[in-house]
């Protein structure tokens, strides 16, 4: 594009060919570009960036009736994030998952035509009748669109991230050349601002995924040197899958990995919500913490939240095992240890290779409590300290000498829930699971649909 901003502004100031549209403001087109530049410097989230850009382009007099923008993302759940904006309904957002969607849909899209032909833009008038060149044009025709301009904007020569999108209008004669010039000009500024927002979100996504929510925030806030950290009080959870070595040798690598992921999805998910944080996965086990203040009431809240998650995890693993049994797969056994105490939380390792974790005597003790589940043939073992805060109905198993602890520790196991209590736990788990599905998209933006209930037990309740 050879025109300067001033030349573009003068061009788009001309009256459009559709008398009902009005004029495009040269000043406001310049203001949109300036706003996008400031947005790139202010770490604005992608959602606010797209919404703000669309509203300002429309306010400048460009008759956009539908805008679609998609951003390729480096994220463990999603290939891309899509935004669709209309003046009447505002912004809607969709995450395109790795394992969902029809590839044929993309192959028949204008975006595939752009990629396969190495084009940066594709402009088409939407005809009122006749065969549609692309299936999406049928939908645009129903919305009364007359003109369509698709574009592709990589975020670097070799980058897997990028932006593709389209502008559509209902203007009688479609987009005028000055309008297209204005859109192309704004598009470049939008791409720069979007790249900054995507990179910012990417760093958050990766740190949250690999370090956990709280640890990721700490690293982003500058807690990155070896030895950085603090001592915190927390309810501690350590879980472990039994007979994993035998399973790996018998079933092979891929079956073992798939089984391990199914196990973690079932047992660990409840501990990563409502104050709980999965700190790390250790082989076929995990450790989670519920940070709290040192007073009794916060300690009670943390331990009760951890115990509620235990109940949900037990139900989830039971449902997993029932599915596995139907598929003639082996039953998964596990052990969980529960404790409360002070832990050191921070960076340890080499100067050039660090990990963010919790360590200290309380962590060692919860690991040994988890191992005692083998000796007492109980899925869940808790210390007296944990039970003092969590409350509930427990069976005392005895006193055990934990290595590194001078005095013997009283250990307990929770008594089974009655049928009514189990139903309540399942309903609560599904409610939280729905919120968790929404929160996965919230990692990328805010507006996401809640997940659908899938428990057979809840289906019975809803009949």
Contacts by 13-20, CB closer than 8 A, 24 or more apart: 14/176, 14/178, 16/61, 16/63, 16/171, 16/173, 16/176, 16/179, 17/171, 17/172, 17/173, 17/176, 18/63, 18/171, 18/172, 18/173, 20/172
What is residue 287's three-state secondary structure? Answer: strand
Asked whether the CA dihedral 437, 442, 445, 446 is positive or negative, the reply is: positive
pLDDT at position 96 is: 64
69: left (phi over 0), alpha (psi -120 to 50) or beta: beta
Q: Is the dihedral of CA 101, 104, 106, 108 positive or negative?
A: negative
Cα–Cα dist 443/213, whole Å: 10
Q: What is the pLDDT of residue 390?
A: 93
Q: What are the residues whose beta carbons fall under 8 Å from the beta carbon of 265, sequence distance 6 or more?
A: none
**262 vs 443: CA distance, rounded Å:** 22
Strand partners, 409: 400
Sole residue written with tokens 């005028």: 176
Q: How far is CA 208 from CA 51, 145, 203, 214, 374, in A?
A: 25, 41, 8, 8, 33
pLDDT score, position 101: 52
What per-residue confidence (pLDDT) applies to 455? 35
Q: How many CB atoms lie within 10 A of CB 178?
A: 21
**CA–CA distance from 303 to each of 234, 296, 385, 431 (Å)?**
8, 11, 10, 20
Per-residue pLDDT 10s for the chain (463 aa) are 333 333 333 333 333 333 334 467 778 888 999 999 898 888 788 889 999 999 999 998 899 999 999 887 554 455 677 899 999 999 998 866 545 555 677 788 898 898 889 898 999 999 888 888 999 999 999 999 999 999 988 776 655 567 889 999 999 999 998 899 899 889 888 988 888 877 665 555 555 554 455 544 554 444 445 445 567 788 999 999 988 878 877 778 888 888 888 998 899 889 888 778 887 787 788 888 898 888 899 899 999 999 999 999 999 999 999 999 998 888 899 999 999 988 876 665 555 555 566 677 888 899 999 999 989 989 999 999 999 999 999 999 999 888 877 788 999 999 887 655 555 555 555 554 443 333 343 333 333 333 333 333 323 222 3
Distance CA(52)–CA(189), nearest Å, equals: 13
User: What secondary structure does DSSP assign to 368-424, as a single string?
Assistant: HHHHHHHHTT-SEEEEHHHHHHH-S-EEEEEEE--TT-SS-EEEEEEPPPPHHHHHH
C-beta separation of 165 from 67 below 8 A: yes
* β-strands 147-154, 334-349 pairing: unpaired
């Amino acid at each position: 594009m050879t025109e300067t901003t001033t030349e573009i502004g003068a061009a788009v100031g001309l009256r459009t060919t559709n008398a009902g549209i009005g004029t495009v403001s040269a000043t406001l087109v310049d203001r949109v570009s300036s706003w996008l530049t400031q947005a790139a410097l202010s770490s604005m989230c992608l959602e606010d960036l797209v919404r703000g850009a669309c509203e300002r382009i429309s306010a400048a007099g460009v008759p956009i009736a539908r805008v679609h923008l998609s951003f390729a993302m480096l994220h463990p759940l999603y290939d891309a994030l899509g935004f669709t904006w209309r003046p009447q309904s505002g912004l809607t957002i969709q995450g395109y998952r790795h394992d969902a969607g029809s590839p044929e849909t993309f192959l028949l899209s204008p975006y595939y035509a752009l990629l396969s032909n190495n084009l940066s833009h594709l402009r088409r008038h939407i005809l009122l009748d006749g065969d549609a060149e692309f299936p999406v044009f049928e939908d645009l025709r129903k919305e009364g669109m007359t003109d369509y301009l698709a574009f592709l904007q990589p975020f670097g020569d070799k980058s897997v991230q990028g932006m593709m999108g389209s502008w559509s209008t209902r203007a009688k004669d479609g987009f005028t050349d000055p309008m297209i010039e204005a859109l192309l000009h704004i598009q470049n500024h939008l791409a720069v601002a979007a790249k900054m927002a995507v990179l910012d979100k990417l760093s958050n996504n990766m740190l949250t995924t690999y370090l956990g929510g709280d640890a990721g925030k700490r690293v982003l806030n500058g807690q990155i040197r070896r030895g950085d950290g603090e001592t915190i009080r927390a309810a501690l959870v350590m879980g472990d899958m039994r007979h994993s070595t035998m399973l790996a040798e018998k079933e092979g690598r891929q079956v073992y990995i798939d089984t391990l992921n199914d196990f973690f999805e079932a047992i660990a998910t409840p501990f990563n919500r409502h104050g709980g944080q999965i700190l790390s996965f250790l082989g076929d086990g995990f450790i989670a913490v519920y940070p709290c203040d040192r007073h009794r009431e916060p300690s009670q809240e943390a331990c009760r939240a951890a115990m509620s998650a235990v109940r949900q995890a037990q139900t989830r693993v039971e449902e997993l095992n029932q599915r596995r049994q139907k598929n003639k797969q082996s039953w998964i056994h596990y052990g969980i240890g529960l404790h409360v105490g002070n832990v050191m939380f921070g960076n340890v390792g080499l100067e050039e290779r660090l990990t963010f974790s919790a360590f200290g005597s309380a962590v060692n003790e919860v690991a040994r409590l988890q191992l005692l589940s083998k000796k007492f043939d109980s899925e869940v073992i808790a210390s007296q300290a944990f039970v003092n805060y969590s409350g509930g109905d427990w069976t005392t198993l005895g006193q055990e000498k934990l290595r590194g602890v001078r005095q013997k520790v009283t250990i307990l196991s929770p008594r089974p829930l009655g049928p009514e209590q189990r139903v309540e736990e399942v309903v609560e788990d599904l409610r939280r699971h729905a919120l968790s599905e929404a929160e996965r998209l919230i990692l990328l933006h805010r507006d996401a649909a809640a997940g659908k209930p899938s428990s057979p037990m809840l289906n019975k309740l809803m009949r």
